[in-house]
Amino acid sequence: MINKAILMGRLTRDPELRHTGTGTPVCSFSIAIDNGYGENRQTDFINCVAWNKTAEFVSNYFSKGKMIIVIGRISTRSWEGQDGKRNYTTEVVASEVSFGESKRSQDGGSDYTGGQNAYSAPVPTQAAPQMPELADDDFSPLLDTDDDLPF
């Protein structure tokens, strides 16, 4: 059986880092994912949770509005509330988390929203090395080896 989710979206709020009673870090966050086009466009809000080093990574390097890529598994858990009613939640338990955009585009450097360097091409820092000119006959010894073929 396979239970794997791969999501890419923007954080809806700053991640919440907490620690369990034994000191294990756990981070809760939610991501917004657009789907569809035009009038059919909808946004799904997916709850996620990360544990241990992954939780600390999310808490330290991500904030509301940042693009995030989450790889994990879908988990459903239940608990009994203070009112005695049974509650359920479905969330993605993150096993891997990655940046969904470059630092430059996060800072408004080259994204489509009209940042400081929008639509500008990168400027090379040094000229590319030039390949030497070769005459056509420089490759002739390599091309005339039909007799050496094993088939």
Of the pLDDT bands very low, low, confident and very high (cuts 50, 70, 90), residue 27 is very high
Of the candidates 78, 101, 69, which has an alpha carbon nearest to the alpha carbon of residue 5? 69
pLDDT at 117 over 50: no
Q: How many CB atoms lie within 10 A of CB 5?
A: 17
Asked if 12 and 64 count as a contact pair (C-beta separation under 8 A), the reply is yes
Q: Which two tokens stand for residue 64?
A: 């509301």
Strands 86-99 and 42-51 turn out to be parallel
What does the pLDDT look like over 83-99, one tens digit per residue? 999 999 999 999 999 99
pLDDT at 120 over 70: no
For the chain, the average pLDDT equals 80
Delineate the domains of the chain, giving CATH numbers in brackets.
5-106 (2.40.50.140)
Prediction pTM value? 0.66
Helices (H), 11-101: 52-61
